[in-house]
Amino acid sequence: MPAVLAVLTAGPLVFHRAVPNSVGRVGSLLETFLPWLGLVIVVLSGLALLRRSAAAVMALLLPTAAWTQLFGGLLLPAEEPGPHDLVVVQHNVSDENTDPAGTARALAGAGPDLIALEELVPPALAVYERTLAPDYPYHAVRGTVGLWSKHPLAGARLLDIKPRDVTEPWARGLRAQVRTPHGEIAAYVAHLPSVRVGAGGLASSRRDESAGLLGRAVAAEPLETVILLGDLNGTVDDRGLAPLTSRMDVPRRGFAFSFPAALPLARIDQVMARSATVTHIRALPATGSDHLPVSARVALR
């Protein structure tokens, strides 16, 4: 039995792109939790050893190799910082956060160059602005998303990533130029629509549409170097984010599961880059949000 289960575990790892998304977004749902199939491999390995089954051990080589190919690099230790690295922090601070000042201090304490925030609402926005101002004199806010920077900002504008069927006011995208010591980069901050898991599967059509709009905006960006920070409500393995992951570099090391904060199961808070490398990402300690902040190091080329 462990040998059969090992082969069945290898299938979704090797052929997850072949799982159809037409009904209930089953493919995206599988890809959201794909790394957790590693736990299945661990359990099956234990059963194989208990039964002293050579066939099962051999069969387990297939899912183990597939998992290592997909996720093994994320387990490697972080590389040494380079001379052209930027540290960035991404955090959905939650519109129900009762301690915005404490959250702001915690994020600034990580010492990033850039801080991207989502679910900014009054009067909490004023608290973030006041608390972050001493270390981050430059900032831009559009709607409920904002960017704080140690380096000058220019050309901040709203990004239109609103799904067509959303009729209420909805401003959740921002683009700004950051004048770093290593040259100008375009920084994008985005909060894509939420997804829901129910009896019918994964409801992600709004998220997918918004991701497509954001992907087109990145493709049209005239500056060569782009850093995208945001609550994208999807993992980098989820094909719903393909308009972004097909164009941008994703973290090479670190899992940094960020949601839900009480029991993180997936990283839906993302840092991606174009013409730059996201060398490492990690989760930071919990704040007053239902998300964990993530901190990433970006190597500029």
41 shares a domain with 9: yes
Residue 198 has pLDDT above 80, yes or no: no
User: Which of 52-56, 102-106, 262-266, 286-290 shows the lowest mean pLDDT across its residues?
Assistant: 52-56
CATH number of the CATH domain containing 97 = 3.60.10.10
Q: What's the rounded mean pLDDT across residues 281-285?
A: 98
Domain boundary among 22, 48, 75: 75
Q: Which two tokens stand for residue 197?
A: 């898991």
93 shares a domain with 32: no
158 shares a domain with 28: no
139 shares a domain with 110: yes
Q: Which residue has the higher pLDDT, 104 or 56?
A: 104
106 shares a domain with 22: no
Q: What CA–CA distances, in Å, run from 85 to 79, 121, 213, 276? A: 11, 31, 28, 10
Q: What's the rounded mean pLDDT across residues 154-175?
A: 95
Residue 149 has pLDDT above 80, yes or no: yes
Nearest residue to 172 (alpha-carbon basis) of 233, 126, 259, 240: 233
Residue 80 counted as domain residue: no
Residue 101 counted as domain residue: yes
Residue 164 counted as domain residue: yes
Helix axes 100-109, 124-132, angle to 10 degrees: 30
Are residues 145 and 173 in contact, defined by beta-carbon separation less than 8 angstroms? yes
- Residue 57, pLDDT score: 82
CA distance 135 to 103: 14
177 shares a domain with 220: yes
Cα pseudo-dihedral 239, 241, 244, 250, rounded to 10: -80
39 shares a domain with 9: yes
Residue 200 has pLDDT above 70, yes or no: no
Give the pTM.
Answer: 0.93
135 shares a domain with 227: yes
Q: What's the rounded mean pLDDT across residues 34-48?
A: 90
The number of folded domains in the chain is 2
Domain carrying residue 99: 85-300
Helix axes 54-71, 37-51, angle to 10 degrees: 160
235 shares a domain with 136: yes
Are residues 56 and 41 in contact, defined by beta-carbon separation less than 8 angstroms? no
Can you name the residues that pair with 145 across neighbouring β-strands? 118, 142
DSSP SS3 for 301: coil
Domain boundary among 51, 75, 99: 75
125 shares a domain with 12: no
Domain boundary among 75, 104, 126: 75
Highest mean pLDDT among 36-45, 72-81, 250-259: 250-259
